[in-house]
């Protein structure tokens, strides 16, 4: 199969963005948000998220157009602007975030099937993990058949999973009650939620997780049929998904009170719709979630392999990861990714970590790649690079980049020390892959200032390891 047959059109790129963002997160959104915030704080949180994520979407669009030579965006921007180690760290963090999110999706999928088949329990019983493993390797061999074929199947699942979400929105909009929505609007009757600012901050990692995938088209920029389609797919996909997320969250708060939503079992959309129309509503959402997760698992299998392949292709990762099969699929990158997922699926049998813990950790791992992408957009504007005849455009892009950068820094603050410590514990081992790649190129491992950054990562990772050992920190 020639490389040209692998080129992706606008509809495939949009489906990759939407398919990556709409996985299991939206189906658990009512409970995940209500656990941290009441109605008023929810509206403020979504307003901040909409502005910040839209700025980030525009950053990816701008960088795709102004730096067309930087394929696989999310890590390439960090490398171009801030050096090899920052580029590697962005790729490493993005990759871990992606496959760890998939582990969470497998657990949620079989927890949902547990609604019909009790043997699956909460998704982490031996039977559930065994079936999840079979599904994992089924997806693996499907992707091995080719990027374009897998992307086509992803388009079908993307359409299929939108249907129950739209039905949920229509039915809950009809049943929406303003008095329920405005009851304890600021959460003052629930002291455990904290202040409004605490509520907004605590819901941030949930909103980040449901938007992970916004950079999906940028990751595939090298395989896009038209370069201009990358930016279009990013913005179109973001706006569509934002509307669905906000409607699902806000309408749920008008069906059940915040404490009732917070006590629901996930997928909580099933509990909300069951409250409105009865048992068939829960069944509809459960089927929709199963389809959604299958599509998301496929999207992230593609993205995980592609990010490792792209980094190996420009010597940021070891050379063995750029090996492709006859269908132009990065085969070693795919094997490494799914092997890590398999290991962590087995770990869930003995770990106390929950689906929520997995998605929070996946969210915290993606913050560094987002931060450096926004910082690179600002850097281009400050330098005037690619803006030689675009004065007004330069000012506009600088403002958008600054908003995205401030938002990324706010997310680091919102993540809190727990997940930043755990993130450092996962970032530190990546140095072995970085060192192998540098050795293959005959280059020095670190530049002087990169040594300082790596030392900070190691110190933080050691602190996290000690905290886990002492029991001061837990998943």
- Residue-wise pLDDT for 339-375, tens only, equals 999 988 888 877 655 666 777 777 888 888 889 999 9
Q: Which residues contact 278 (CB under 8 A, 6 or more apart)?
A: none
Average pLDDT, the chain: 84
- Comparing 363 with 30, the larger pLDDT belongs to 30
pLDDT at 156 exceeding the cut of 70: no
Instruction: Find out whether 262 and 193 touch, Cβ atoms under 8 Å.
Output: no
3-state helix, strand, coil in the chain (%, to 5): 80, 0, 20
pLDDT at 217 exceeding the cut of 60: no
pLDDT at 215 exceeding the cut of 70: no
pLDDT at 461 exceeding the cut of 60: yes
Report the candidate in 342, 314, 309 with the shortest Cα–Cα distance to residue 325. 309
pLDDT tens for 170-187 read: 999 999 999 999 999 999
- Comparing 218 with 305, the larger pLDDT belongs to 305
Across the range 92-121, mean pLDDT stands at 85
CA pair distance 221, 224, nearest whole angstrom: 5
Q: How confident is the model at residue 1 (pLDDT cuts 50, 70, 90)?
A: very low
Percentage of the chain beyond pLDDT 70 is 89
pLDDT at 168 exceeding the cut of 70: yes
Across the range 117-137, mean pLDDT stands at 88
pLDDT at 147 exceeding the cut of 60: no
Q: How confident is the model at residue 454 (pLDDT cuts 50, 70, 90)?
A: very high
pLDDT tens for 40-90 read: 999 999 999 999 988 988 888 788 778 877 766 677 888 888 989 998 998
pLDDT at 288 exceeding the cut of 50: yes
pLDDT at 407 exceeding the cut of 70: yes
The reported pLDDT for the residue numbered 301 is: 77
Q: Which residues contact 164 (CB under 8 A, 6 or more apart)?
A: 284, 285, 287, 288
Q: How confident is the model at residue 4 (pLDDT cuts 50, 70, 90)?
A: very low
The reported pLDDT for the residue numbered 320 is: 93
What are the extents of the domains in the chain?
A: 3-417
- Comparing 463 with 388, the larger pLDDT belongs to 463
Q: Kindly report the CATH number that applies to the domain delimited by 3-417.
A: 1.20.1740.10
Across the range 232-260, mean pLDDT stands at 90
Pair of tokens at residue 178: 């303003």
Report the candidate in 162, 190, 178, 136 with the shortest Cα–Cα distance to residue 27. 162
Most confidently predicted of 9-13, 123-127, 153-157: 123-127
């Amino acid at each position: 199969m020639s490389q040209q047959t692998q080129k992706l059109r606008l509809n495939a790129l949009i489906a990759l963005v939407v398919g990556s963002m709409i996985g299991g997160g939206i189906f658990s959104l009512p409970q995940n948000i209500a656990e941290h915030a009441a109605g008023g704080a929810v509206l403020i949180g979504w307003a901040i998220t909409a502005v910040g994520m839209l700025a980030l979407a525009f950053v990816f669009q701008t960088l795709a157009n102004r730096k067309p030579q930087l394929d696989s965006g999310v890590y390439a921007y960090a490398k171009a602007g801030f050096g090899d180690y920052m580029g590697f760290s962005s790729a490493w963090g993005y990759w871990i975030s992606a496959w760890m999110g998939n582990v969470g999706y497998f657990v949620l999928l079989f927890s949902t099937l547990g609604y019909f088949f009790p043997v699956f329990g909460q998704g982490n019983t031996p039977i559930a993990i065994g079936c999840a493993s079979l599904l994992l390797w089924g997806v693996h061999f499907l992707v091995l058949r080719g990027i374009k074929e897998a992307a086509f199947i992803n388009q079908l699942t993307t359409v299929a999973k939108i249907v129950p979400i739209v039905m949920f929105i229509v039915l809950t909009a009809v049943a929406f009650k303003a008095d329920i929505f405005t009851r304890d609007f600021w959460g003052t009757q629930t002291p455990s939620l904290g202040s409004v600012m605490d509520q907004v901050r605590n819901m941030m990692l949930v909103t980040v997780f449901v938007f992970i995938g916004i950079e999906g088209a940028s990751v595939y920029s090298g395989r896009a049929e038209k370069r201009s389609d990358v930016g279009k797919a990013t913005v179109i996909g973001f706006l569509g998904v934002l509307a669905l997320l906000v409607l699902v969250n806000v309408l749920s708060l008008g069906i059940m009170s915040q404490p009732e939503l917070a006590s629901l079992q996930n997928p909580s959309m099933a509990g909300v719709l069951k409250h409105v129309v009865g048992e068939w509503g829960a069944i509809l959402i459960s089927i929709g979630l199963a389809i959604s997760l299958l599509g998301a698992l496929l999207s992230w299998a593609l993205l995980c392999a592609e990010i490792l392949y792209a980094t190996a292709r420009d010597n940021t990762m070891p050379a063995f990861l750029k090996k492709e099969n006859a269908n132009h699929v990065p085969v070693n990158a795919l094997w490494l990714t799914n092997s890590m997922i398999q290991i962590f699926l087995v770990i869930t049998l003995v770990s106390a970590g929950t689906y929520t813990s997995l998605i929070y950790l996946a969210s915290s791992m993606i913050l560094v790649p987002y931060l450096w992408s926004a910082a690179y957009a600002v850097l281009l504007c400050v330098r005037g690079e690619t803006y030689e005849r675009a004065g007004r455009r330069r000012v506009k892009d600088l403002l958008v980049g600054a908003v995205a950068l401030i938002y990324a820094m706010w997310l680091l603050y919102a993540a809190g020390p727990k997940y930043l410590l755990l993130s450092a514990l996962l970032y530190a081992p990546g140095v072995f892959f970085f060192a192998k790649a540098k050795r293959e190129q005959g280059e020095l491992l670190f530049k002087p200032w990169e040594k300082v950054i790596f030392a900070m990562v190691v110190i933080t990772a050691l602190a996290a390891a000690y905290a886990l050992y002492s029991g001061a920190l837990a998943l």
